[in-house]
Chains A and B, each alone.
Chain A
């Protein structure tokens, strides 16, 4: 079993924080909560974090001020800004200061999870170049997929979908969530349920042709679940 990644959640909205903490624990992270900048600074000194989820509007100041401190820490900490502000200049400012990603509220948990894993993966280059799940091996950097050690060809969208599912195992992911995920990665194209369906159908077909298990299960026609026993 891999060591659990410590995640610092800086969020002042209690209900959202509670859900997020629960979600992160379920997904194999060990989350810590800071409700303001002060306690965030304290926790950053006490613990070793792999990543920080940072809200910008905090009761004792702008989260932006924390970015430099996080990025100057001795070990590399991934940083995702999670803000209700969808302002372009905020995004640019945050990313320029050193944030690794920017997520706009409201977000979907699977999306947060996928991005969190991607950020951690990028920071630990040697450790996790590949993702292995039973017969499936994924190389996110090169967008390569091996099944039973044999290379299979996936389109960019299909690869994205598979990586997303692997990052969010055993969870019901609604069509809306999948549609949003695909839109954000592909030019904000208005993905209808039909398009999501088509791509999942194609992905399932390619996986079954290569003798992979049928992991992707339809849930009552409203979503999908990547089931791993």
Chain B
């Protein structure tokens, strides 16, 4: 939920509650005031009646709303509600009844006062109350919303900039200066943090490159000297074999070194040049590169790319991902074996026939886990696949049912 939505909702719900409670309280107090007013007016009419009755006969004072009856009982006065029917309409009246004595005769006098006017008044007040309050809350709501929005403008721009922030890009994270202290403080923290992160990133990158450089050059010397020695005419078979082994081992060491540097780079989010492209086309392109290798091993290739799937990722990493998976499925395939590539429902499944793993299934994506059947493999290709999938939150799975199945779900 957005901060603005949240505060607006808080404001609205608080407003509604206060408005309801206030309206009910107001209704009752207005009713009370009006009832009091009605009572006073009735009492005033009683006084007027008594005053007029001193000069006139009581029975002459009877009118539309003043009733006079003879009575035996004396009573001081009492209020009550009564309903009269006039023109087939029920009208609510407030009645004041009291006794009045004239010429030794007790009369019961009832004075009626219509309540419909005061009811009308209550209604009008209520409507006005609702109307004004609504208007007031509405204005408050928009003023409040606008003020929060403008106060948080810098905050939102900070969020946008942080979203776009990429640690490997040269540009420095510069955030707008905010009026609000909290936001200013937050921005300062972010700016400091981004500088630190970038510095760490650069030093790590430098370290990686240095390691690469420092190791590769000595390896180049060893390899060149071994190659030079191999050219001598008087070498025995054993000496030649040892030199060849030296060359092979040096090459292997260099490959491991390069792969580890590459893995470190992926894990350090070094490759983040994103692009959207069709996975189908990329798979087809990669398969043409392997066409000869597939033919060499007499592998039966089954390709089902019925679903057009577009993905967003670094092109180089996408290349590497596919190359490593296909390569893996070829190297560990049998002569005349089967390789199936299926792309459907945002899921790529690469399956191949091959020997049962000689290590735990859960280790398959770990570095340096390799099969007894292929000791020459470095055991890094699939960990590169795993690192790339982790970088993009792709779901990578492995299972074996006579065939090795590697599946990647590209849907996030």
Provide the bound-state CA to CA distance between A104 and B289, in Å. 22
Assuming A23-B228, A220-B241, is B327 touching A188 (CB within 8 A)?
yes
With beta carbons under 8 angstroms apart, the residue of B222, B289, B376 that contacts A186 is B289
Q: Does B331 count as interface, using CB distance less than 8 angstroms? A: yes
Q: Does B174 count as interface, using CB distance less than 8 angstroms? A: no
Question: Of all chain A residues, which has the CB nearest B228?
Answer: A19
A25 to chain B, nearest CB (A): 12
Q: Does A5 count as interface, using CB distance less than 8 angstroms? A: no
Q: Does B99 count as interface, using CB distance less than 8 angstroms? A: no
Provide the bound-state CA to CA distance between A107 and B225, in Å. 12
Question: Of all chain B residues, which has the CB nearest A223?
Answer: B244
Asked if residues A175 and B212 are in contact (CB atoms below 8 Å), the reply is no
Contact mask for chain A residues 162-181; partner B; CB cutoff 8 A; 1 contact, 0 none: 00000000011011110010
Interface residues of A in 66-92 (CB under 8 A from B): 84-88
With beta carbons under 8 angstroms apart, the residue of B209, B244, B296 that contacts A195 is B296
Assuming A57-B213, A84-B212, A85-B212, is B247 touching A19 (CB within 8 A)?
no
Assuming A19-B225, A172-B230, A192-B376, is B244 touching A106 (CB within 8 A)?
no
Assuming A174-B230, A177-B227, A190-B327, is B237 touching A220 (CB within 8 A)?
yes
Contact mask for chain B residues 310-334; partner A; CB cutoff 8 A; 1 contact, 0 none: 0000001000000100010011000
Provide the bound-state CA to CA distance between A209 and B250, in Å. 37
Provide the bound-state CA to CA distance between A115 and B33, in Å. 105
Assuming A106-B224, A108-B223, is B240 touching A176 (CB within 8 A)?
no
CB contacts (< 8 Å) of B323 on chain A: these are 187-188
A203 to chain B, nearest CB (A): 14
Question: Of all chain A residues, which has the CB nearest B232?
Answer: A172
Asked if residues B290 and A187 are in contact (CB atoms below 8 Å), the reply is yes
CB contacts (< 8 Å) of B261 on chain A: these are 86
CB contacts (< 8 Å) of A104 on chain B: these are 216, 258
**21 A-B pairs, CB-CB below 8 angstroms?**
A15-B225, A19-B221, A20-B224, A23-B227, A106-B219, A106-B220, A110-B227, A157-B292, A171-B231, A172-B231, A172-B240, A176-B247, A180-B251, A186-B292, A186-B293, A187-B289, A189-B289, A195-B293, A220-B237, A220-B241, A223-B240
Q: Which residues of B contact A (CB under 8 A)?
A: 209, 212-217, 219-225, 227-228, 230-231, 237, 240-241, 243-244, 247-248, 250-251, 254, 258, 261, 286, 289-290, 292-293, 296, 316, 323, 327, 330-331, 376-377
